[in-house]
Homo-oligomer: A and B are copies of this chain.
Amino acid sequence: MTELHRDDHTAARTTGPVRLLLADDEHLIRGALATLLSLEDDLVIVAEAASGPEALAMARAHAPDVAVLDLQMPGADGVKVATSLRAELPGCRVLIVTSHGRPGHLKRALEAGVRGFVPKTVSAQRLAEIIRTVHAGNRYVDPELAADAIAAGDSPLTAREAEVLELAADGAPVAEIAERAALSQGTVRNYLSSAVSKLGAENRHAAVRLARQRGWV
């Protein structure tokens, strides 16, 4: 035993390259990224995945130091994967990469223990730096996304309001929403009404759009 007081949960490995898991459903991007990151001397990709479940399986199999996950993937999104990963592999840092940065997503991600959150508009060079930052145990959140998230604030919707709004998302009539939520139609209309006024929207559909934009549904 050469080290005393090693903290298995949070200590970064100090020897060898950073071992990466790359997950993105778009083969083109994942492959390109893999190639590019491999050019960095201190980074090595040990596994790739094209879906949420696959990412989990790969992580279990290879126990990477850092998992770079796309936010939107088939099967399970990046945040869900991060949640599972946190439980199963506490030593694996998670970095989320996304095209469409919606405020609510960032919040959910941080709650899931994600260590980094960046938009795909950064350069690969910059991403490599951020991977190192995350691997060193620090956090990194894109400043612009952080500002958006702060500006958007917390959801003003109660659980029910959010649920009903969610069911209204695809344009279903009140009767159907009521049935699916096991509520009376009047109640559904009340929830929708209060959600609409809280969001300052014209009607329920505009409200759905707003809530989606801010990641509240």
Contacts and interface: CB of A to CB of B under 8 A. Distances in A.
A209 interface: yes
Given A173-B203, A206-B170, A209-B170, A29 B32 contact: yes
A24 to B, nearest CB: 9
B124 A26 contact: no
B120 A29 contact: yes
Contact of A28 (B124, B171, B206): B124
A31 to B, nearest CB: 5
B203 A28 contact: no
Contact of A32 (B27, B124, B201, B206): B124
Given A32-B33, A36-B35, A171 B205 contact: yes
Nearest to A204: B171
Interface in A111-141: 119-125, 127
Nearest to A32: B32
A69 interface: no
Contacts of A166: none
Q: Which of A171, A202, A204 has the most CB of B within 10 A?
A: A171
Nearest to A39: B35
Interface string A131-167: 0000000000000000000000000000000000000
A195 to B, nearest CB: 13
Interface string A95-121: 001010000000000000000000111
Contacts of A33: 28-29, 32
Contacts of A208: 171
B124 A31 contact: yes
A1 interface: no
A172 interface: yes
Contact of A123 (B31, B125, B206): B31
